[in-house]
């Protein structure tokens, strides 16, 4: 079961800030702990920035989700950029093609409960993350 | 329908012959919508200049506002628009006072209601419309640059570098640290280090809601730059949730000293400086 999500475009730096703010609002609403809020907001910041920088812009959808036991937040980051050719490499700590710290993808994966990448060279990248209330 | 050169010159004559009454009427019409926020003497001066501008454009046979002969008029329109933008008038108010010229001209044309006059008037009217829209565009441009200026000032304001103690400067980071702000922070911190000759800098991140890899990278770069200038940096204000997130992300601050609060950081620095004073004393 899920509520209707919030859709946010990601085409500017300011949009990345908006994504963080939306994720913060959702996190407070489902009563994530302060640590989990911070982790999710930070993961969202990393992935939204990748959508902007490497994906050439795209879209983020934030949704409140619910299973039998817990509430949570699901966030989808989608772009139609170049895709990721070597996923293992991209997920390696310290690997970057853009002069970053190379910890965005791998770090974001450690910050959430569920992490899924769907990417195809030339087609784009969609990353779905979920964080559940404890 | 553009103005023919014939029509244009007839309007130039009209604008000249009826100069006084036209300007007077225009001031009256435009003044009504500006509701006395501009002195009527100033409005008269502006509009009479503009009337001359229109006259000149017509005299040179300008069919379009974009023509060479209208260059002077365009400059005048841009200037008025910029003026009004700074005085806080809306773009519409500015455009409306240009539109008012049409009414003033229509009245000056009087009862010459034959088809020729009508066609002339429609063409002239379209020219004035363009002029009004032009002020609209330049108004928006001026407002945008005003806003950009203010944003820049705000940026400077929101990154104060303070001298905390003799030999210790501090920069409290607040809000989101995007690349533009990070650049400003770094420059100001380095400049303050030079100005004060301080050997210590405290970067306080209490006010940063989320430390992602971009923020971390900016902070790390600033620390390295400060080191090159001989200053030691301490990062303070690392709250528990931030600390856990940084660890999970895999960010390493290496040998950079980090403290929970600004007070802790200051205590740490003072301890270090005391100790070095003490060692110097015992060496003697
Ligand atoms: N949405 C994306 N589209 C294409 N490539 C991506 C995308 N996200 C990440 N990458 C690739 O994965 C690499 C690692 O990303 P990340 O871990 O966030 O590090 P960084 O952003 O510091 O480069 C990037 O340098 C880039 O080559
Ligand atoms: Mg990244």
For residues B70 and B193, state if they share a domain. no
**pTM of the prediction?**
0.67
Q: Which residues of A touch B211 (CB under 8 A)?
A: 42
Q: How many domains does chain A have?
A: 1
CA B144–ligand 1 middle distance (angstroms): 34
Q: Residues B112, B12: one domain? A: yes
pLDDT at residue A2, rounded to an integer? 47
Binary contact (A38, B244; C-beta < 8 A): yes
Residue A110 covered by a domain: yes
For residue B218, the distance in angstroms to the closest alpha carbon of chain A comes to: 10
pLDDT band of residue A85 (cuts 50, 70, 90) is: very high
Highest mean pLDDT of the ranges A4-8, A127-131, B7-11, B80-84 = A127-131
**pLDDT exceeds cutoff 80 at A106:** yes
Residue of A nearest to B179 (CA): A13
Of B245, B248, B251, the CB nearest to A101: B251
Q: In this structure, is residue B237 part of a structural domain?
A: yes
High-pLDDT (> 90) share of chain A, %:
92
DSSP chain B: -PPPHHHHHHHHHHHHHTHHHHHHHHHHHHHHHHTTSS-HHHHHHHHHHHHHHHHHHHHTT-SSTTSGGGHHHHHHHHHHHHHHHHHT--HHHHHHHHHHHHHHHHHHHTT--SHHHHHHHHHHHHHHHHHHHHHHHHHHHHHHHHHHHHHHHHHHHTS--EEEETTEEEEEEES---HHHHHHHHHHHHHHHHHHT-SEEEEEEEE-S---HHHHHHHHHHHHHHHHTT-EEEEE---HHHHHHHHHHT---TT-EEESSHHHHHHHHHHHHHHHHHHHHHH-
Verify that B35 and B139 share a domain, yes or no.
Answer: yes
Of B124, B152, B180, which one is at a domain's C-terminal end? B152
CB A93 within 8 A of CB A103: yes
Residues with Cβ within 8 Å of B76's Cβ and at least 6 positions away in sequence, in order, are B49, B50, B53
Neighbours of B65 (CB within 10 A): 20
Closest residue by Cα to residue A57 from A98, A85, A15, A19: A15
The SS3 call for residue A94 is coil
Examine the domain organization and report whether B68 and B140 are in the same domain: yes
Report ipTM (2 d.p.).
Answer: 0.94
A1 lies in a domain?
Answer: no
CA of A63, closest CA in chain B: separation in Å?
21
Look at residue B154 in the predicted model and tell me its pLDDT: 62
Q: Do B64 and B136 lie in a common domain?
A: yes
Question: Number of structural domains, chain B?
Answer: 2
Q: Which of B129, B152, B175 is the last residue of a domain?
A: B152
Q: Whose Cα sits closest to atom 9 in ligand 1? A: A50
Alpha-carbon distance of B172 to A46, in angstroms, equals 23
User: For position A117, which CATH number holds?
Assistant: 3.30.565.10
At residue A47, the pLDDT reads 98
Q: What does the mean pLDDT of chain A come to?
A: 95
Q: Same domain for B166 and B273?
A: yes
Residues B61 and B10 occupy one common structural domain = yes
Task: Using an 8 Å CB-CB cutoff, list chain A residues near B245.
Answer: 35, 38-39, 42, 111
Q: Is A123 domain-assigned?
A: yes
- Model confidence at A1: pLDDT above 70: no
Tell whether A120 is within 8 A of chain B (Cβ). Answer: no
Question: Do the strands A124-132 and B257-259 form a parallel or antiparallel pair, or are they unpaired?
Answer: unpaired
Of B209, B242, B245, the CB nearest to A111: B245
Q: Ligand 1, from A50, A87, A110: best to mutate by most atoms within 8 Å of Cβ?
A: A50
Task: Report if residue A15 sits inside a domain.
Answer: yes
| DSSP bridge partners of A130 | A74, A114
**Tokens 């060279």 sit on residue:** A121
Task: Identify the pLDDT of residue A119.
Answer: 97
Say if B245 falls within a structural domain.
yes
- In A, minimum Cα distance to B249 occurs at A107
pLDDT of residue B225: 93
Same domain, B81 and B122: yes
Q: Nearest chain A residue to B243 by CA: give it.
A: A35
Q: What is the pLDDT of residue B207?
A: 85
- Give A43→chain B minimum CA distance, Å: 8
| Residue B254 contacts residue A47 (beta carbons within 8 Å) | no
Cβ <8 Å between B216 and A101: yes
- Give the CATH number of the domain where residue B11 resides: 1.10.490.10
Only one residue has tokens 């923020």, namely B215
Domain contains B157: no
Q: Count how many pairs of residues, chain A against chain B, have C-beta atoms within 8 Å.
A: 66
Ligand 1 pocket by C-beta < 6 Å: which residues? Answer: A 46, 50-51, 54-55, 79, 81-82, 84, 90, 95-98, 100-106, 125; B 213
- Is B173 within the bounds of a domain? yes
User: Which one of A33, A38, A99, A129 would you mutate to disrupt binding with B, by most B Cβ within 10 Å of its Cβ?
Assistant: A38
| Ligand 1 pocket test target in A105, A106, A124 with most atoms within 8 Å of CB | A105
Judgement on whether residues B172 and B57 belong to the same structural domain of the protein: no
Within a domain: A93:
yes
Q: What is the extent of the structural domain holding A41?
A: 6-132
In terms of CA atoms, which chain B residue is nearest residue A17?
B176
Which pLDDT does position B181 carry in this prediction? 76
Mutate to test the interface with B, among A25, A91, A107 (most CBs of B within 10 A): A107
pLDDT digits (tens, 9 = 90+) for B157-213: 666 788 888 899 999 887 777 777 778 888 889 999 999 999 999 999 988 888 999
Claim to verify: residue B119 and residue B25 sit in the same structural domain? yes
Q: What is the pLDDT along chain B (284 residues), one digit of tens a residue?
A: 678 888 888 889 999 999 999 999 999 998 887 777 888 888 999 999 999 999 999 999 888 898 888 999 999 999 999 888 888 888 888 899 999 999 999 888 876 666 677 778 888 899 999 999 999 888 888 887 777 777 666 666 666 788 888 899 999 887 777 777 778 888 889 999 999 999 999 999 988 888 999 999 989 999 999 999 999 999 999 999 999 999 999 999 999 999 999 999 999 998 888 766 566 555 54
What range defines the domain where residue B104 resides?
5-152
CATH of the domain at B181: 3.30.750.24
> Which DSSP symbol is given to A54?
T
Give the domain-ending residue among B85, B118, B152.
B152
């Amino acid at each position: 079961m899920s509520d209707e999500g919030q859709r946010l475009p990601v085409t500017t730096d300011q949009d990345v800030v908006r994504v963080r703010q939306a994720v913060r609002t959702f996190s407070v609403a489902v009563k994530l702990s302060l640590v989990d809020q911070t982790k999710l907001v930070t993961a969202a910041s990393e992935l939204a920035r990748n959508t902007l920088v490497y994906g050439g812009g795209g879209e983020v959808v934030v949704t409140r989700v619910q299973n039998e036991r817990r509430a949570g937040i699901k966030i989808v980051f989608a772009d139609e950029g170049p895709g990721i050719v070597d996923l293992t490499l991209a997920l390696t700590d310290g690997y970057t093609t853009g002069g970053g710290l190379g910890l965005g993808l791998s770090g974001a994966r450690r910050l959430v409960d569920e992490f899924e990448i769907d990417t195809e060279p030339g087609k784009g990248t969609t990353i779905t993350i979920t964080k559940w209330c404890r | 329908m553009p103005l023919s050169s014939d029509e244009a010159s007839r309007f130039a004559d009209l604008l000249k012959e009826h100069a006084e009454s036209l300007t007077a009427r225009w001031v009256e019409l435009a003044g009504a919508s500006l509701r006395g926020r501009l002195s009527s003497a100033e409005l008269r001066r502006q509009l009479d200049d503009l009337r001359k501008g229109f006259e000149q454009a017509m005299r040179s046979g300008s069919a379009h506002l974009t023509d060479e002969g209208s260059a002077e008029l365009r400059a005048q329109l841009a200037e008025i628009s910029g003026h009004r933008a700074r005085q806080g008038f809306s773009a519409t108010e500015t455009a409306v006072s240009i539109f008012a010229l049409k009414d003033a001209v229509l009245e000056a044309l009087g009862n010459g209601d034959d088809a020729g006059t009508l066609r002339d008037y429609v063409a002239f009217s379209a020219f004035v419309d363009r002029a009004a829209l032009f002020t609209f565009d330049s108004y928006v441009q001026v407002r945008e640059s005003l806003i950009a200026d203010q944003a820049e000032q705000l940026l400077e304001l929101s990154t104060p570098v303070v001298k905390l103690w003799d030999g210790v400067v501090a920069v409290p980071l607040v809000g989101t640290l995007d690349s533009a702000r990070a650049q400003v922070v770094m420059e100001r911190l380095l400049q303050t280090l030079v100005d004060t000759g301080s050997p210590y800098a405290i970067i306080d991140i209490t006010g940063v809601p989320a430390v992602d890899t971009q923020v971390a990278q900016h902070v790390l770069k600033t620390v390295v730059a400060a080191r090159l200038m001989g200053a030691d940096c301490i990062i303070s204000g690392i709250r528990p949730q931030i600390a856990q997130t940084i660890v999970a992300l895999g960010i390493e601050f290496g040998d950079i000293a980090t403290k929970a609060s600004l007070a802790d950081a200051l205590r740490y620095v003072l301890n270090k400086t005391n100790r070095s004073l003490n060692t110097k004393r015992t060496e003697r």
